[in-house]
Amino acid sequence: MVDHFLDSSASTPGVPPDVSPWRVSVAPMMDWTDRHCRFFHRLITRRALLYTEMVTTGALIHGDVPRHLRFNAEEHPVALQLGGSEPADLAQAARLGTEWGDNEINLNCGCPSERVQRGAFGACLMAEPQLVADCVKAMVDVVDVPVTVKHRIGIDKVESYDFVRDFVGTVAQAGCHVFTVHARNAWLKGLSPKENREIPPLRYELAHRLKADFPALTIVVNGGITTIGQMQDQLQHVDGVMVGREAYHNPWVMADWDACFWGDNPPQPTRDAVEEAMVVYMDRQTAGHGTPWAHMARHMLGLRNGTPGARRWRQVWSDHHLKGLPATEVMARARAVLA
């Protein structure tokens, strides 16, 4: 089952060889897109680019590197998102990422949380484009994978297109050729991170203008995109689409991505097969690393959304009274309630 997903680099009949590697991706999401989540997502889509949770430079330089950077070979392609604002620290962290096998290094210039702001990185960096350029240059100089930036279209009440255009133009000169544009402003005061994903209005047209003004750059749009139809519409204007919470809460939306966006036609996995492969993985992680299966199973709770018995199935996998059982037994009980 898992072997079917390993070769994500093979050429695809009917898809031009110059299709962007950033055509479709799953967003970095704190506390969610850990390596277990990414393994699960890779069971559903073998083509989409998967991003790590944001990892701060301090966590890598002074913390447990394997805990933050270890991932499964099946997850490729994987992009490491970094949080930081010191060029030398980012260069050291980027080098570590490539040593561990990440396919891309991404700098977070979009997170608006106060905790991130206290660290002087995230969305507040958009006010200092030359510093971001210096950070990018420091990383470009030490790694041989793409260095990319994820950012907003503005901060606070700054809604002028010129602001984001000048930011991208400055950073591009430092060697960044891929920009993922969350098409909302980030309000640095007064809104929670959740509110920052919902209240500032989406303005996709600014991302479209960036692509028109910088045709040589790869522009990926992010924010509020949930359906294949919306993705296809955006790809008429930009090079790629990044999907966030919809991919996490309703992961089966990814089941058609490979066929729709890359022309892949291998046998499509079933939900049963994905669940079974995930249980094999959970057993392996529990035996090899002592990771409780519940820590991994949480990522697949949306697998059967919209199907008969989904709520009861989800309740079984979420039942803390069953945590002492092996995952295979829990799966058997969960399957029983579907009958």
162: left (phi over 0), alpha (psi -120 to 50) or beta: alpha
Taken as a whole, the chain contains a residue count of 339
Q: Which helix (H) or strand (E) holds 133?
A: helix 129-140
Q: Rounded to whole angstroms, how far apart are CA atoms 60 and 105?
A: 14
Q: What are phi and psi of 216, to 5 degrees?
A: -80, -15
> Catalytic residues, which ones?
111
Residue with tokens 């097969």: 273
For every residue of 247-264, DSSP letters joined together read HHHSGGGGGGHHHHHH--
Asked if 224 contacts 198 with a C-beta cutoff of 8 angstroms, the reply is: no
Asked if 210 contacts 183 with a C-beta cutoff of 8 angstroms, the reply is: no
**Which of these, 90, 100, 92, lies nearest to 67 by C-alpha position?**
100
Residue with tokens 């969610």: 32
Asked if 181 contacts 210 with a C-beta cutoff of 8 angstroms, the reply is: yes
Tokens representing 152?
Answer: 């907003």
